[in-house]
Amino acid sequence: MRWRRFFLLLTMGLVLSVCLACDQLTGTPDANTPVPVESPAAVQPSVTESSASPVTIAGTESLYNPPRGDVRLMVISDLNSAYGSTEYDPEVDEAVRLIPFWQPDMVVCSGDMVAGQDISLTVEQIRAMWEAFDQHVAAPLRAAKLPYGFTIGNHDASSALGVGGTFLFQQERDLAKEYWNKPTHDPGVKFVDRNEFPFYYTFEYKDIFFLAWDGSSNRIPQEKLAWVEQTLASPEAQQAKMRILLGHLPLYAVAIGRNEPAEMMETPISYEKCLKNITFILILAGTTTPTIQPTKARFSYYTWAF
């Protein structure tokens, strides 16, 4: 079933071509004006259509290629296999191979790139997982010259705390940081703030401001929420035509079987408050079922899972 869910995710992700209207390019959008994002429900997969020149890739003859907006994002998530695995399902490899067909401007991942969150894993095993991720996912994207924005998931480097208030998976966090801070693993994004990369950081692309927070457990510390609020109030964020928040655990449970306390943020209302001054924000999360949920905070909420 994992491969079917992966292709559902990929299909939904490819139609997230963010369309910034011409009038939005000259000013901040009105709070009551919807930002046009292509709806997955409108996709007719039997038709191939795009204003861009298609990339010739074997096996893409029947794939749908939606009309381009100003920016096209390919969204992937939850790529991992069993705990400690250095293998990826063949369908993951196939999906990565097909990504250039849609000619996205950027690939965005909402977490769970490797198969950690197991205290028995050794340093060698964790490094091997990240090297496998590099071979199967990151290196092909670099070869295709595709920027890769991401957030950390619980299987990448969980921020769960132990009784003493320390990270239960500190070793996994250290090694995730080690992998991502190697110059050869540069994700190719234009950083605004990378002081705590890869856990909390910001970057921008074509008038879109991206903020990644560490939603690898159900709690974000108050000082980090303060950073989020301050960052989203910055000139870089406020002057952008769209703001996108990347996190792994969703703010709210939206599916039976994915509604346990550890599967969503513990105090979503308090997290919404730090977004209160944002005219529009798109939230991309993993680890649950697909949905779009508008809220009083004027943001759209997309969440996928395996």
pLDDT at 264: 76
Whose CA is closest to 136, among 113, 102, 166, 120?
Answer: 113
pLDDT at 184: 98
Rounded Cα–Cα distance for residues 267 and 277 (Å): 19
**Residue 300 tokens, joined:** 């759209």
**Pairing mode, strands 106-109 and 148-150:** parallel
pLDDT at 287: 61
* Count of beta carbons in the 10 Å neighbourhood of residue 36: 13
Whose CA is closest to 213, among 187, 232, 188?
Answer: 232
pLDDT at 191: 98
pLDDT at 281: 65
R_g of the chain, CA atoms, integer Å: 18
Percent of the chain with pLDDT over 70: 71
For the segment 180-207, what is each residue's pLDDT rounded down to a tens digit?
999 999 999 999 999 999 999 999 999 9
Instruction: Give the pLDDT mean for 30-51.
Output: 40
pLDDT at 53: 58
Please give the single-letter amino acid code of residue 192.
V
Instruction: Give the pLDDT mean for 246-264.
Output: 77
Least confident of 31-45, 76-90, 152-166: 31-45
- Better-scored residue on pLDDT, 269 or 220: 220
pLDDT at 270: 72
274-293 in b/e burial notation, b at 16+ Cβ within 10 A? bbeebebbbbbbbbbbeeee
* Residues in Cβ contact with 25 at an 8 Å cutoff, skipping those fewer than 6 apart: 207, 241
CA 139-171-212 angle, 5° bins: 55
Rounded Cα–Cα distance for residues 87 and 163 (Å): 33
Residue 173 has pLDDT above 50, yes or no: yes
- Better-scored residue on pLDDT, 60 or 181: 181
Contact yes or no for 114/157 (Cβ under 8 A)? no
Instruction: Give the pLDDT mean for 84-100.
Output: 95
For the segment 203-245, what is each residue's pLDDT rounded down to a tens digit?
999 999 999 999 999 899 999 999 999 999 999 999 999 899 8
**Residue 51 tokens, joined:** 């204003």
User: What pairs with residue 109 in β-bridges?
Assistant: 76, 150
- Better-scored residue on pLDDT, 189 or 248: 189
SS3 44: coil
pLDDT at 7: 46
Percent of the chain with pLDDT over 90: 54
CA atoms within 13 A on the CB side of 37: 21
CA atoms within 13 A on the CB side of 305: 21
Q: Is the entire prediction scored with pTM above 0.85?
A: no
Domain residue extents for the chain: 2-18+70-303
221-250 in b/e burial notation, b at 16+ Cβ within 10 A? eeebbebbeebbeeeebeebbbbbbbbbbb
CATH topology of domain 2-18+70-303: Purple Acid Phosphatase; chain A, domain 2 (3.60.21)
61-91 in b/e burial notation, b at 16+ Cβ within 10 A? eebbbbebbbbbbbbbbbbbbeebbbebbee
pLDDT at 55: 66
Residue 82 has pLDDT above 60, yes or no: yes
